[in-house]
Amino acid sequence: MLGFRATRILRAQRGSMTAPRLTPNVQYPPPPPKKMEGSGEDFRPPWVYVGTRLISLAVIPSIAVYSIFFYDFGEREHVFQPVRRWAADSVNSFFTLSPAEEKLLKQERVEM
């Protein structure tokens, strides 16, 4: 316990012995713009950047969806098989009737 007090006292003394740093209130001019290597100007119009960004936002997810759901990896088991099974089950459940719907359909056929 005595050790804690001694270190606190030493830290307090060290802190009081250092003078606060004063920063001068000088405003420096902004740095000059950096010049590009070569001709110095970009020859492409601004719409090129917007267009390439939009194209990449469309192409990259399309490639991912195609490779996950449609690309043929062969007969062997691969990493996307569980996702493909889930998608196939979801599509099949959407296009098949539930047991309650089948029962209603049978009742309507009998009544006709």
Confidence of residue 4 (pLDDT cuts 50, 70, 90): low
Note whether residue 65 is domain-resident.
yes
Instruction: Specify the DSSP class assigned to residue 18.
Output: S
Q: Residue 47 in 3-state DSSP?
A: helix
Can you give the residue range of the structural domain that contains 105? 58-112
pLDDT of residue 29: 86
Note whether residue 17 is domain-resident.
no
- C-alpha–C-alpha distance, residues 19 and 90, integer Å: 72
Note whether residue 108 is domain-resident.
yes
Note whether residue 76 is domain-resident.
yes
72: pLDDT strictly greater than 80: yes
pLDDT of residue 13: 55
CA distances from 96 to 75, 90, 93, 100, 101 (A): 27, 10, 5, 12, 9
Residues 6+ apart with CB under 8 A from 36: 42
Residues of the chain above pLDDT 90, percent: 39
Q: Average of pLDDT values for 38-58? A: 87
**Reported pTM:** 0.50
Note whether residue 105 is domain-resident.
yes
Task: Please count the structural domains in the chain.
Answer: 1
pLDDT of residue 43: 82
pLDDT of residue 42: 78
